[in-house]
């Protein structure tokens, strides 16, 4: 099946530094990539939607200057957390829309990367 590879899986950084997270679609082209953030024992909150070759669409309350998203190719999307602070510590997950068997022409599921656990100290 469709696989999204996400790196790094864990990162610890100092406050004030920037961290880049990469998501690659390995065997398909992802024209759209979704970026989520998940705090411990909470649900996934959509941060932004990135479309290949265009600007990302950010959800309300998400600072686009702090969370830089680049989707320069059909197989790679990156999220950069700039000037990270301890409150940015979270689990960041990307996902891409993929066709699912048995769902028909409009049947899409979403395949997720394995996530990146960011700890800012």
Task: State yes or no: residue 11 binds other proteins (CB under 8 A).
Answer: no
Residue 7 tokens read as 């790196």
Report the C-alpha gap between 21 and 92 in whole angstroms: 9
Cβ 76 to other proteins, closest distance in Å?
Answer: 18
Among positions 3, 11, 13, 46, the unique one binding other proteins when judged by CB under 8 A: 46
- Measured from the CB atom, is 17 or 42 closer to other proteins? 42
DSSP-derived 3-state class of residue 68? strand
Report the C-alpha gap between 45 and 61 in whole angstroms: 11
- Name the segment binding other proteins (CB under 8 A); options: 22-30, 39-47, 67-75, 76-84: 39-47
- Measured from the CB atom, is 8 or 107 closer to other proteins? 107
Report the C-alpha gap between 100 and 87 in whole angstroms: 36
Among positions 21, 30, 81, 93, the unique one binding other proteins when judged by CB under 8 A: 93
Among positions 19, 25, 96, 113, the unique one binding other proteins when judged by CB under 8 A: 113
Phi, psi of 113 (to 5 degrees): -70, 170
The Cα diameter of the chain in Å comes to 47
Report the C-alpha gap between 79 and 22 in whole angstroms: 7
Residues lying near other proteins in the complex (CB under 8 A) are found at: 32, 34, 36, 41-46, 49, 57, 60, 93, 95, 97, 100, 103, 106-115
């Amino acid at each position: 099946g469709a696989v999204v590879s996400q790196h790094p899986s864990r990162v610890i950084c100092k406050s004030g530094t920037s961290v880049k997270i990469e998501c690659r679609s390995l065997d398909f082209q992802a024209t759209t990539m979704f970026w989520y953030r998940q705090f411990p024992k909470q649900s996934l909150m959509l941060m932004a939607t990135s479309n290949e070759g265009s600007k990302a669409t950010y959800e309300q309350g998400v600072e686009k200057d702090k969370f830089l998203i680049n989707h320069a190719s059909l197989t790679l999307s990156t999220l950069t957390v700039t000037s990270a602070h301890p409150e940015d510590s979270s689990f960041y997950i990307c996902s891409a829309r993929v066709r699912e068997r048995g769902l028909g022409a409009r049947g899409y599921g979403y395949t997720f990367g394995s996530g990146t656990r960011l700890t800012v100290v």
